[in-house]
Amino acid sequence: MRRSKSLLDRRRNFVMEYINSNQAKQMKVVVLELSEKLFITERTIYKIINEGLSLSHVS
């Protein structure tokens, strides 16, 4: 099943904003919370984080 680009962009933005607003917590806790909120795997969240970090270095 393909996801729309706008849905993926919104999810990516939500993950990055959530991480930025919860920096005081351990990463494992933040990833677990995101997994429960978005119903996606931890692996997918780490992939989004890595893509976000690589995009921020390019800009």
User: How would residue 1 be classed by pLDDT, with cut points 50, 70 and 90?
Assistant: low
pLDDT tens string 15-59: 999 999 999 999 999 999 999 999 999 999 999 999 887 877 665
pTM > 0.85: no
Q: What's the number of domains the chain is made of? A: 1
pLDDT at 58: 61
List the domain range (segments joined by +) for residue 39. 25-59
Residue 19 contacts by C-beta under 8 Å, 6 or more apart in sequence? 27, 30, 34, 49
5 inside domain: no
Give the model's pLDDT for residue 36. Answer: 96
Residue 10 is assigned to a structural domain of this protein: no
Q: Which tokens hold the place of 41?
A: 């795997």
Domain annotation covers residue 7: no
6 domain-assigned = no
